[in-house]
């Protein structure tokens, strides 16, 4: 069996109290092997983003444990979680969150200046196919190019894991496929474990492992024996 990037045991997350309480996670047990592309699939409100936020160190579970390479995130202080995120985790969200007054290179430098072992910003942008656009501002870039800058910013710190929450949600099919291709290449070239949260079932075809969520619990886990290339995915 492959070494694990993440493991969760009895993970729960409850928002609120009493009759108005929302049970976002209901006792999730999960193993995620290192180096895989894993798709967390399910409708809005099924718990997939909540799980991503907990194992990404952005939120805390109500009960249960979450482990990263054997370290229990649930027992870490806020300072330790900040260090964990800074040194290990790259985040890509649906909305690019770029600084409009900074060039593509400068947006990536926001991360490389505080990272422990960063890539050169220009190399990170070349990795996502934007070598010629490093001095452009976000307003001069298409939506797909802006998302690729966001991916370059996430991978420039050489993360152990890359978390992508609806990374193609704001993109058309052609642009979305190209962004998924960039994510696949990062998994292959850098060896990063990639978790993609989506409600787009077709994207599951590119994953090593697909985790189906419903009502805060895992309904099914499917291991793909044959993966499809992003350019072959139906949209």
Strand partners, 26: 12
DSSP assignments along 134-201, one per residue: TT--GGGS-HHHHHHHHHHHHHTT--SEEEEESTTTTS-HHHHHHHHHHHHHHHHHH--EEEEEES-G
Please tell me the predicted confidence (pLDDT) of residue 83.
Answer: 92
As a whole number of angstroms, the distance between CA 211 and CA 216 comes to 12
Mean pLDDT by 10 residues, the chain (235 residues): 93 93 95 96 91 95 96 96 93 87 96 84 91 96 91 91 88 84 90 92 93 95 92 81
Asked whether residue 174 is domain-assigned, the answer is yes
What is the domain extent for residue 185? 34-60+77-232
Asked whether residue 24 is domain-assigned, the answer is no
Asked whether residue 21 is domain-assigned, the answer is no
Measured between alpha carbons, how far apart are the two ends of the chain, in Å? 33
Asked whether residue 50 is domain-assigned, the answer is yes
Helices 143-155, 173-190: inter-axial angle, 10-degree rounding:
20
As a whole number of angstroms, the distance between CA 64 and CA 60 comes to 10
As a whole number of angstroms, the distance between CA 4 and CA 8 comes to 11
As a whole number of angstroms, the distance between CA 187 and CA 46 comes to 26
Asked whether residue 22 is domain-assigned, the answer is no
Please tell me the predicted confidence (pLDDT) of residue 175.
Answer: 81
Please tell me the predicted confidence (pLDDT) of residue 101.
Answer: 97
Can you list the positions of beta strands (E) in the chain?
4-15, 22-33, 37-41, 63-68, 71-72, 89-92, 161-165, 193-198, 209-214, 217-223
As a whole number of angstroms, the distance between CA 168 and CA 191 comes to 21
Please tell me the predicted confidence (pLDDT) of residue 170.
Answer: 76
pTM: 0.89
With the C-alpha atoms ordered 125, 166, 197, 224, is the resulting torsion angle positive or negative?
negative
Asked whether residue 106 is domain-assigned, the answer is yes
Question: How many separate domains does the chain show?
Answer: 1
Asked whether residue 27 is domain-assigned, the answer is no
Task: Report yes or no: 136 and 184 within 8 Å, Cβ to Cβ.
Answer: no
Asked whether residue 13 is domain-assigned, the answer is no
CA torsion 66→71→75→80, rounded to 10°? Answer: -120
Q: What is the CATH number of the domain that holds 38?
A: 3.40.50.300
With the C-alpha atoms ordered 118, 53, 55, 197, is the resulting torsion angle positive or negative?
negative
In 3D space, the residue among 109, 115, 112, 54 whose CA is nearest the CA of residue 83 turns out to be 115
């Amino acid at each position: 069996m492959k070494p694990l990037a993440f493991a969760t045991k009895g993970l729960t997350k409850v928002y609120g109290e009493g009759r108005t309480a929302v049970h976002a996670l209901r006792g999730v047990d999960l193993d995620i092997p290192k180096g895989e592309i894993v798709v967390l699939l399910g409708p809005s409100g099924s718990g997939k983003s909540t799980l991503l936020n907990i194992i990404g160190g952005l939120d805390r579970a109500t009960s249960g444990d979450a482990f990263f390479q054997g370290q229990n995130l649930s027992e870490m202080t806020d300072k330790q979680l900040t260090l964990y995120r800074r040194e290990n985790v790259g985040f890509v969200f649906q909305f690019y969150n770029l600084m409009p007054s900074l060039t593509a290179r400068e947006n990536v430098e926001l991360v490389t200046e505080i990272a422990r072992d960063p890539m050169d910003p220009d190399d990170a942008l070349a990795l996502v196919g934007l070598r010629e656009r490093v001095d452009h501002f976000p307003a001069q870039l298409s939506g797909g190019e802006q998302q690729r800058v966001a991916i370059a910013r996430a991978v420039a710190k050489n993360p152990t894991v890359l978390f992508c929450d609806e990374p193609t949600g704001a993109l058309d099919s052609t642009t979305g496929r190209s962004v998924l291709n960039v994510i696949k290449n990062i998994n292959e070239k850098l060896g990063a474990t990639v978790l993609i949260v989506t409600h787009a079932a077709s994207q599951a075809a590119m994953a090593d492992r697909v985790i189906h969520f419903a009502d805060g619990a895992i309904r099914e886990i499917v291991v793909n024996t044959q993966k499809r290339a992003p350019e072959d995915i139906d949209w």
